[in-house]
Amino acid sequence: MKKFIVKVLPLILIGVVFVWMGQGFAQQPTRMLKDLAGRQFIIPKQVNKVSGLDPLLTYMLWRLAPQKLISIDKQFKSQLSFMTDEEIKKLATLPVTGVYYDGSINREQMLLLKPDVILSYKKDPDIEKKQEDYSALVVAASKDSLEELEASWRFIGKVVGNEKEGNQLADYWHQTMARIISKVAKIPDKDRLKVYYAQRDVNSTVGPKAIMASIIRTAGGVNLYDSMTGAMIQQESENIPTPMEQILAWNPDVIITGAAKSRDVIMSDPQWQNVSAVKNKRVYASLSFERLDNIQSLMGLVWVACKLYPERVKVDFTKETRNFYSKMYHHDKLTEAQIYEEKN
């Protein structure tokens, strides 16, 4: 009998502990949310620790809840130049994780970090597996279009308990988009410019559901694969190999490159000399403080619209950029030279 008690009592005590812990978790206030992948989930009312699996997500978490960010991803670590020295120093002390898209996330590290919530994207092919692998809740935002980035501001604001500021930034995002849309809305389809977006490999471009294509369309342009609905491509891909013959046949009016080096390659390569954009010197390199990706994509929209239709979109790009960085980064010291510096 004594042996039985010795063996069974510890098991009973362990069971009591687990029941007590379960009751403790159950007593935590919770709420129901739907993420941008359309998944319903229960989330603690008070989220204290968050982690992102992509630089844009890490940035949005930093912007809305810097005190709750417990890690930075390896790509975000190289994008801190917009921050103050004090903020860079603070962020540099956080553990560095991998990113969702290259398999570099370390499961053991994520378990040790113990975030309440992990943020990924609805297009993350392994999001359900991550939910099984990590003890934290894994929820999905989206960056596939400017509209979805607006929705992501609102969603992340809800997740981290800063709905007010998330909505304020989303409203600013929406209003900036609306101003550009109103300026290009009356352009007839026949007059809309054909735009080729060139990656660093200039014979690679983007699919119609990539953020770059979303910006080109919103600015009143036509992306290459928007006009090729039957093409067998990955719709969301940001790196689609495109033969020179296809580019020549489409003959874009404007070419936008992600960097100055790519622009220089196109302008100097004999293969490109008969393209309308090259002949008319309408090949533009993105600027360092605007991008057709990431959070700077909102300024990418303003810049692209100005480049495509300067007679219609007459905005003060310097003022717009300074306003953007003040709101999004608390950065108020941009010089004009910095704003117009091309990205290398």
Judge if 95 and 210 occupy the same domain: no
SS3 120: strand
Judge if 255 and 316 occupy the same domain: yes
pLDDT value at position 12?
44
Beta-sheet strands, E only, within the chain:
30-34, 40-44, 50-52, 72-73, 96-97, 117-121, 137-141, 194-198, 204-205, 222-223, 240-241, 254-257, 283-285
| Cα atoms in the 13 Å half-sphere on the side-chain side of 304 | 36
Please state the length of the chain.
344
SS3 158: helix
Nearest Cα to 248, choosing from 203, 289, 200?
A: 203
Mention every residue, 6+ apart, whose C-beta is less than 8 A from residue 235. Answer: 207, 208, 209
Q: Is the pLDDT of residue 225 over 80?
A: yes
Q: Across all residues in the chain, what is the average pLDDT?
A: 89
pLDDT value at position 5?
44
Question: What's the CATH code of the domain at 218?
Answer: 3.40.50.1980
Judge if 322 and 248 occupy the same domain: yes
Judge if 143 and 248 occupy the same domain: no
Q: Is the pLDDT of residue 201 over 60?
A: yes
Mean pLDDT, rounded, for 217-239:
83
Judge if 120 and 204 occupy the same domain: no
C-alpha–C-alpha distance, residues 265 and 275, integer Å: 14
pLDDT value at position 19?
38
Q: Is the pLDDT of residue 324 over 90?
A: yes
Mention every residue, 6+ apart, whose C-beta is less than 8 A from residue 55. Answer: 73, 75, 76, 79, 99, 294
Please say whether the beta carbons of 307 and 284 come within 8 A.
Answer: yes
Please say whether the beta carbons of 119 and 53 come within 8 A.
Answer: yes
Judge if 195 and 57 occupy the same domain: no
Q: Is the pLDDT of residue 11 over 60?
A: no
pLDDT value at position 229?
58
Nearest Cα to 140, choosing from 49, 37, 210, 33?
A: 37
pLDDT tens profile 112-169: 999 999 999 999 999 999 988 888 999 999 998 999 999 999 999 999 999 999 999 9
Q: How many domains does the chain have?
A: 2
Q: Domain containing 130: what range?
A: 29-161
Please say whether the beta carbons of 264 and 204 come within 8 A.
Answer: no
Q: Is the pLDDT of residue 252 over 80?
A: yes
Q: Is the pLDDT of residue 15 over 60?
A: no
Q: Greater confidence, 330 or 21?
A: 330
Judge if 192 and 328 occupy the same domain: yes
Q: Is the pLDDT of residue 84 over 70?
A: yes
